[in-house]
Structure 1
């Protein structure tokens, strides 16, 4: 074996002291309690590596049910025997450069002729596949270490954009890899061991768990038979680990040996297998989903919701630059009642159940990280990579009271309404002065809201855990939003030109905005007070 991923160091982690290092697949399990987290070169790489490791964890440990999971959680360390037994059976399939069955590759496409290894790395330019982040050209020689190539190989299978690829025969068109369709959500604990266990769902293919995992047929890519035909195809996933390691591309890496170590000097990337499903929400358990509510309309100064019911399929929650993941707190965190217009990641359902069973404290606090990337309108070029987080208190994950959903909806709605007010402030001023539009005003608002919203979630969860009213937490959020909006508006006003007519226009627009904010906050307090609990007088 030239480079076996079970023992060779290639997965980047940080330890509990913050030191970075690389480890092999066996060590990432047996010493997971000594590591903080996996940290890839980009957010998509981090997500792809976690999905690979989670697929392995399911094949090694299950767990079949809450009892199995509790034994792993309470053990302190992950048992080494399942790791040793699994790799004793499948170690050969983890050889990156095996001539017959290389890891996550298809040796049959080697006849296509390798192009630059830069094809593996989305921020490297190759031919027409340029990006906004790169200054290399197709003529530059790109070589990767085996560890680097392994990481990018895993990332390509999960996040490769669509567009034209090298054809095996004639078909060269490809769809974007599955993880481009949703934000990949991961619950993060205090150690890598905790993170892995928190993201394991009940897994038993014999009992078709999780839902849509076909009896006995589910397996990760490396356990599958070598494709007889490397031409692109399409099929539904046979289970959860199949989807976690989906072969979106047929890939082959070329290499040479330098100083006794393999150097990856080329790559073939051809169209692979397309996921054929009616709805992603029925198969992809690391995503969150929602049906958008009808647009808000304005009556007087107050923005209200239409009474119609959301319709259409569940849409995946995705990361959008400048929009803020926290605005999807309901879809990401709250349990969905039957017939709901949202669905959170399945791991959060299991965390709530395990807490209710007494295995996780009700006041535990975790972080939900979501990873993704932005493609160009055609889905062929990477325009940006994204990672955001939101607080995930277990008390909120367990919440079933409708009032919590209402309070979160009002909190997000307040921020949205004030954000629209800032846009109106800018628009009215520009219209009065016949000036060009600008985004400077809202840029001083949205990026400053995630931290106070996390604090709001923590205070809301603490109120629920202690039986206190949710009103103080809601008030803290309102004051934070108002302060941030007012600061943004003041800086805008102070930065505006000073001639007399301009100063009058600024003052008039700013005054109207202040009045709108006062009205919106008053309505928000009334809405929250109508559904929140009240503390009894002593």
Structure 2
């Protein structure tokens, strides 16, 4: 019998926001049965929020399935989720033989400060960019805190050198670092969880690449202490991937339990292609302008490797709305793949289970590492409006309108930078600070408005041109204001002022030309 117990299905540890905005913590079972009364799961950092959702989804798959879209619809229409049946002994955080998401075999490795569990308090080779915690610093985590950071670590721990079990120190960055994890958010936590819960039936290999041996980490035997590499057995295996071998060391202090020491060694490296197994990310691959040539005739275009879309600071994930929202149409070989969870949502819209006018939110989570993949530089979270009407595969105009709108923003962004470069070329001045910040972040909300207006037009059978014109006006306004601030941003006299005025005038001419060209292209396509 363990002297210390903390069961994740019985004791509160999951951080939630209730519908009235108050914060609370719930156990796994209560989280699901009260999900219709909750707004969202909200972790201390964006990666924690993402990792906790992945864990809860794996838990739901084993509790509910659902084995088919019919069963999914029953869960969607129900007022509340049913009480899940669980094997409570698999969720003991400090069990000696099967501790949750841990590896008892590494218990004999010298333990380090619990600060290694927390990215902004990390030590040794895993320090974050701005942290100055020392290896001797004492960090005490409650069991609930330790559980949250343990789940986050398995999904988002950076790579680099770790304490070895024997000799192997090298570790691969945990899988979620490689992508922008896409979460569809509804009006309640119940809606959110179900919108991201695909039909799950391993006997029928549903979802794709999920076989009968699929199981979450807590149902598998604890892993061996040595690092290894393998393909995932299926979706719940990937959602709870054992990227690290971990052992939490609890201690009683003044009658309360804390975790102040931890063992973290390299774990399981992920093998396989991401687009074949990760369903909560969009993927794309580059397409060459020309295909292979045979006897003077061009064949099909060639493609580069697939890679998941990732968040980029300041630029906005909305620029990839085509890849995030739309299913490729036509016979041409696809060069993007939206998150496959959205394929399921689209089918539920087409079947009338989800209202066609619904507008949800895509929340995209990411973590940026340094060039070596071993230092956390920042964590990111962005949102994009998701009118479900755009998910349908029978709107041939949606792709061109969205693609044309994003292209316009990119062209104008490039023109802004060209304005600054031409001015600097004559004065050997440094690049202007804040020009990108005065443009890209301000386009996010207007783009959401474009998506919603486009969805309304397509559903009502009216022209999408007014929606596109509204976007043009916002791009013009934001870009012009950014250019004016650039021109007025520093004292300019004489030749400097004259050249700045010339560069500004050239930018305005290019701005007008790009907008007119895009309008003509769109009008020709729609007609």
TM (normalized to structure 1)? 0.93
Q: List runs of 5+ in structure 1 lacking aligned partners.
A: 297-306, 534-538
Q: Conserved in 2, the CA contact under 8 Å of 1:104 and 1:251?
A: yes
Match of 2:123 among 123, 126, 135: 126
Match of 1:18 among 16, 21, 26: 21
C-alpha displacement at 1:495, in angstroms?
Answer: 1.8
The SS at the match of 1:354 is helix
Work out the CA distance in 2 between the residues paired with 1:382 and 1:17.
34
Name 1:71's counterpart in structure 2.
74
Match of 2:452 among 450, 458, 466: 458
Work out the CA distance in 1 between the residues paired with 2:246 and 2:278.
23
Match of 2:366 among 343, 348, 372: 372
C-alpha displacement at 1:531, in angstroms?
Answer: 2.2
C-alpha displacement at 1:93, in angstroms?
Answer: 1.2
Q: Conserved in 2, the CA contact under 8 Å of 1:294 and 1:308?
A: no
Query: Which is worse superposed, 362-371 or 494-503?
Result: 494-503
Q: Conserved in 1, the CA contact under 8 Å of 2:286 and 2:305?
A: no
**Superposition map of 1:2-401 within 5 A:** 2-80=5-83, 83=84, 85=85, 87=86, 90-214=87-211, 216-227=212-223, 229-277=224-272, 279-293=273-287, 309=301, 311-337=303-329, 339-401=333-395
Work out the CA distance in 1 between the residues paired with 2:300 and 2:428.
38
The SS at the match of 2:280 is coil
C-alpha displacement at 1:399, in angstroms?
Answer: 4.0
Query: Which is worse superposed, 309-318 or 362-371?
Result: 309-318
Work out the CA distance in 1 between the residues paired with 2:206 and 2:445.
37
Work out the CA distance in 2 between the residues paired with 1:17 and 1:63.
30
C-alpha displacement at 1:453, in angstroms?
Answer: 0.3
**For the aligned residues, what is the CA RMSD?**
1.5
Q: Conserved in 1, the CA contact under 8 Å of 2:248 and 2:263?
A: yes
1:422 paired to 2:416: yes
The SS at the match of 1:230 is coil
Q: List runs of 5+ in structure 2 lacking aligned partners.
A: 291-298
C-alpha displacement at 1:412, in angstroms?
Answer: 0.3
Name 2:296's counterpart in structure 1.
none
C-alpha displacement at 1:308, in angstroms?
Answer: 9.0
Name 1:303's counterpart in structure 2.
none
Deviation string 1:276-301 (CA, Å, 9 cap, x unpaired) is 11x100000011011235589xxxxx
The SS at the match of 2:225 is coil
Q: Conserved in 2, the CA contact under 8 Å of 1:331 and 1:343?
A: yes
Query: Which is worse superposed, 24-33 or 312-321?
Result: 312-321
C-alpha displacement at 1:435, in angstroms?
Answer: 1.1
